[in-house]
Amino acid sequence: MPRGPRLDASGVLHHVVARGLDRQTIFRDDRDRDEIVRRVAGLVEVGALTVYAWALLPNHFHLLVRTGARPLARSMRSLLTGYAGVFNRRHRRTGHLFQNRYKSIVVEEEPYFLELVRYLHLNPLRAGVVPGLRALAKYPYCGHAALCGIREIPWQDTTSVLGRFSRQARRAEAQYRAFVAAGVPQGRRPDLQGGGLLRSAGGWLAVEALRRGREAYAADERVLGGTEFVETLRAEAERTERRRARFDARTPDLATLLRQVAATAHVPPAALMGGGRSRTLARARDGLAYLWVEVLGRSGRSLAGALALQPMSVYRAARRGRDYRVEWDRLVPR
């Protein structure tokens, strides 16, 4: 059966899983892991995501996130494309790194929020990456340590999780630890893998089209929740589709974006495609790369071809452009 379109709307809770192509390793060392963490933190910083739980495994990673100012697909495109480019250059490889389609499950917050926090954070233990709970609490590439009060991870929202246990920080951390420990014997949880919405080909409009009645719902990996949860999405469905259509209509193509950046920098568009190295041109190229790669989630290779640069130079420029994003963000609709 063909896969259905992604479901998303501002403020929706998602369990996201991204896997290496053919189960290949996507994190070979801590530099790789630090790179993906830095990129996730960047998405949080610009208001694209709120992260409640996360875990990195050798050949895949999990995120429990709430979408913010931009669609999940746009954030994930930026995250995966940017990371894959850095990984390939660093390890001198070519080709796809991730499976073409990451998995995203829309989650009904109650009763699944805490269950998924626990499930995601126990992944390194289940996978044998760490030998036990004590080691898991010290594992730096999982959100568990932050909720235990052992590591400070500024971009992870620990308050929303711990606040469900107690208002007192120490008591909340202790109760969270006990909650996670109680989940160890549960092993893998097929019941947390999605199911509860009739598969269709209409995106959020398919949700809107559903009608009450048990017979209307069947297993669907895109949703973890019940009938009532699906019904609460109906009012938002059509509005989300319309907002997304308006955004896509306003999103500039590369030629338009190049002209806009050049006008902002007061330089001719052709100068950005030349070899000029003045500070003004360098700053403009950095801004263009930031908007194209980091904000719009487009391919750095395509921009490299337009500017007659190496792809590595484009990705470096995008990182530099992030330092003065306020100057450029207004050029792209939110």
Give the pLDDT band (50/70/90) at residue 250. low
Q: Strands 60-67 and 49-57, how do they pair?
A: antiparallel
In a domain, 218, yes or no: no
Residues 282 and 174 in one domain: no
- pTM exceeds 0.85, yes or no: no
Range(s) of the domain holding residue 93: 13-191
Confidence at residue 203, expressed as pLDDT on a 0 to 100 scale: 46
Percent of the chain with pLDDT over 90: 37
Residues 174 and 269 in one domain: no
| Count: domains in the chain | 2
Confidence at residue 39, expressed as pLDDT on a 0 to 100 scale: 93
Mean pLDDT across 172-191: 84
In a domain, 292, yes or no: yes
The CA distance from 54 to 143, in Å, is: 5
In the predicted structure, residue 2 carries a pLDDT above the cut 60 = no
Q: What is the DSSP letter of 199?
A: -
Q: What is the CATH number of the domain that holds 38?
A: 3.30.70.1290
Q: Is 295 or 287 the better-scoring residue by pLDDT?
A: 287
φ, ψ of residue 331 to 5 degrees: the values are -80, -15
Choosing from 136, 168, 191, the residue where a domain stops is 191
Mean pLDDT across 235-249: 59
Q: Which of 42, 41, 81, 36 is nearest to 61 (CA)?
A: 36
Choosing from 191, 213, 242, the residue where a domain stops is 191
In the predicted structure, residue 1 carries a pLDDT above the cut 50 = no
Q: What is the DSSP letter of 23?
A: G
CB 241 within 8 A of CB 204: yes
In a domain, 150, yes or no: yes
Residues 75 and 184 in one domain: yes
- Which residue shows structure tokens 């060392």? 29
In the predicted structure, residue 153 carries a pLDDT above the cut 50 = yes
In a domain, 60, yes or no: yes
The CA distance from 142 to 42, in Å, is: 17
Confidence at residue 231, expressed as pLDDT on a 0 to 100 scale: 59
In the predicted structure, residue 197 carries a pLDDT above the cut 60 = no
pLDDT digit string (tens) for 200-229? 334 444 444 444 333 333 344 556 655 566
Q: What is the CATH number of the domain that holds 272?
A: 1.10.1750.10
Confidence at residue 236, expressed as pLDDT on a 0 to 100 scale: 59
The CA distance from 99 to 80, in Å, is: 10
Choosing from 191, 216, 243, the residue where a domain stops is 191
Q: Which of 290, 4, 281 is nearest to 303 (CA)?
A: 290
Q: Strands 103-107 and 223-224, how do they pair?
A: parallel
Residues 178 and 274 in one domain: no
